[in-house]
Structure 1
Amino acid sequence: MRGRSATLTAVEGTETAERMRLRSELVDLLNTYSSEAQHIGHAFAHQHRLHATDMHALLAVMHAERRGDPLTPGRLGEAIGLTSGATTALIDRLERGGHLRRSRESADRRVVHLRYAEAGMALALAFFTPLAPRTDEVMARFGTDELHTIEKFLQGMIGAVTSYRDELRQQ
């Protein structure tokens, strides 16, 4: 029995070491991905004379639209950490530039939703479409079950980072 216990402890130690290695590698890979994606976002922003905050706002609006839950100006401000006045100035700037549009879609005409404007979407598609075949090629290497696992992992990591970001905002 004692030999079996020692063997199990050695196997557990190896699994722990491998798990620690994977954890470190995954964090590094996520950081590298984030950095590279930011470089691409900055290139788009520079090409279209947008601020970094503009890019964050456009991404937030796009993601909310994809979820079928368009943002209001207040929710956009909360999402990217801006005051009401700064959010209004941002929306005005993006609307003037043809990137966003305000839409009144509910029975309550006071409620304004933010939508990606057609001109802004055309610019984004022209810039980001060449990236799609590259990312599609990577995703094609994984089965549906693997992609579900990756989705679950990334949702968890985003939740952890978002939770910490919100905590930092409270300080």
Structure 2
Amino acid sequence: MADREELITRLGDLGARSATMTALFQQKAAASYGLGVTDMKALDVLMRGGAQTAGQLGTALSLTSGAVTGVVDRLVKRGLAKREADAGDRRRVVVVADFATIASGANVYQGIGEAFRELHQSLTTEQLAFLVDYTERSIALTEQAIDELP
């Protein structure tokens, strides 16, 4: 078995490779929908977080108001999102994911999602708990690093 420092080094290398492979997959997946990676990340924010104002979406993705307008325009044009009046304040407009349109089309994420689900099914409950904890802590570290960038 490798020693502790070798394992730490290997984890760093694997993390970098995983990040690169994820970025490449996201780029190719987004292109298959005629979108960019930022557009797909915006759609993910809408799907997970619900209705957002353009300002909220821009903040979530660190985008300027002009950039977020372009993102929303592209999502709306492809029928993946809609602009709607805010139920709480009819003067405001929110952007919502169009789940019906999303579900009716091809899903390039389905294959990889099934493969990961199969991988996760092969793990013990203890292994899954460790991975959940590790991933949550990794996300927190990444969020902190994002906040510290200029």
**Same fold, TM-score > 0.5, yes or no:** yes
Q: CA deviation at 1:55?
A: 2.0
Residue 44 of structure 1 and its aligned partner are, at CA, apart by 1.8
What count of residue pairs does the alignment treat as equivalent?
A: 148
State yes or no: 1:108 paired with 2:89.
yes
Tell me the equivalent position of 2:37.
52
Q: What do residues 113-138 of structure 1 show as CA deviations (whole Å, max 9, x unaligned)?
A: 43221223433x52221223311111
Q: What RMSD in Å do the two structures reach over aligned CA positions?
A: 2.3
- Aligned match of 1:140: 121
Residues 103, 113 of structure 1: 8 Å contact kept:
yes
Gaps of 5+ in 2: none
Structure exhibiting the larger radius of gyration computed from Cα positions: 1
2:60 counterpart letter in structure 1: A
Q: Which amino acid aligns with 2:88?
A: A
From 109, 112, 115, give the equivalent of 1:131.
112
TM-score (norm 1): 0.74
Specify whether residues 150 and 110 from structure 1 end up closer, same or farther in structure 2 by C-alpha distance, changes over 3 A only. farther
Structure 1: stretches of 5+ with no match in the other structure: 1-14
**d(CA) in 2 for partners of 1:74 and 1:127?**
29
Distance 1:154 1:121 in 2: 27
Q: Which amino acid aligns with 1:119?
A: T
Identity %: 26
Structure 1: how far apart are the matches of 2:121 and 2:6? 26
Q: Does 1:149 align with 2:130?
A: yes
Take 1:33 and 1:47, find their aligned partners in 2: how far apart are those partners?
21
TM-score normalised to structure 2 length? 0.82
Between 1 and 2, higher relative CO (CA 8 Å, sep ≥ 6) is seen in: 2
Q: Name the one with the larger helix percent.
A: 1
